[in-house]
Amino acid sequence: MKIKNKKLLFLILFLSIIAVIFVFITISKRKNDFSAKPADSLNLKNNNSKRTEDSIMIDFNGDGVKEVLNVIEKETGFVAMELFDLAGNKIAGLSDEWLLYNTTFFKIIKLNEKSTKECLQWNMVPGPHQIETVFLSVIGDRIEPILSIDFEKETVYSPFYNSRGELLVGDIDKDGSIEVIEFVDEYPVNAPRLDDPEVDNLIREQFGDLGVGSEAEGMTEIVKRENYGKGRGKKVIMAIHRFVDEETPYFRRLPPDEYEVIAGKLISAIEGIMKESADMTKPEGWETDGFMRYNDLEQDSKDFNEFVRKFWTHDKPYEFPMTDESVE
């Protein structure tokens, strides 16, 4: 009974996190309506400057001078973005077609180590361990996500997605090009499911308080499958994307042969580490270590990963047919 109570406590904490996330999506903690702040209170030397204490200073064009990026949260929960030079002249804005949630989890990075241009890694948190990421750059007078192109399927892809650990960004194979690696859970088909009649009631009560009772069925399915971490399995290398620095920058989703070059090395490395630490034990319910290839998943596991992604992102599309306009 004591163990069961601990598990129920864990579930209550898990559901509380979910509650916070739902509230975060509708009422962001980070307020970015910078126009409401008086310029005098900012002690700025240039009265024409659009810079505020919350502005993001970034060198998109790589000329050595930072631009001023202001993020404004809309009533919908999505954001608008406006980019200014230091004199207050508007340079670019985010198109209304890109539905990006507000976030405090962003960073300024370089996708080409030989270039001075910076871009903005914008990490959005739709679920308890699900992250959607876009890499924002400036193309002409528009702030645009850098899309990933799958030339075999003739599709474009955005945002990147991760449900296991962090999105891996870096020159993984040390060839001078930056890669982005997406990770998801294995969700083994034969992993034990959580079987506890109290779980349904807890979920329905929690979601009832949030006014989203229709989501309870999907949440129940996810909680039972994840089973306090026992059902998440290994860390799966879902896809690898390589940055291509052209006039209109893009990522190229690596085909199977190029995927294997990097994935094979990662899997071999982690297996070697696991053998060295085989004598180490982990507490009950801890996630299983190890990497695996996405193609090695059973179709049921792939389908469940898709279900989880759609559940937390509210079925927001992320893959589109490639057109001349989308790759310009």
User: What tens digit of pLDDT does each residue of 165-193 get?
Assistant: 889 999 988 888 899 999 999 999 999 99
Quickly state the pLDDT bin for 215 (edges 50, 70, 90): confident
Please answer whether residues 262 and 254 qualify as being in contact, where contact means their C-beta atoms are separated by less than 8 angstroms.
Answer: yes
Do residues 159 and 105 make contact, with C-beta atoms less than 8 angstroms apart? Answer: no
Query: What span, in angstroms and rounded, lies between the C-alpha atoms of 162 and 100?
Result: 16
Q: How confident is the model at residue 269 (pLDDT cuts 50, 70, 90)?
A: confident
Report the range of poorest mean pLDDT among 2-16, 90-104, 263-277.
2-16
Q: What percent of the chain has pLDDT over 90?
A: 60
Cα four-point dihedral sign 289, 226, 78, 325:
positive
Distance CA 277, CA 128 (A): 29
The CB density around residue 210, as the number of other CB atoms within 10 Å, is 15
H or E segment and range at residue 257: helix 256-276
Angstrom distance (rounded) from CA 119 to CA 101: 18
Question: Diameter of the chain by CA atoms?
Answer: 67
What pLDDT is stored for residue 211 in this prediction? 53
**Per-residue pLDDT at 277 exceeds 50:** yes
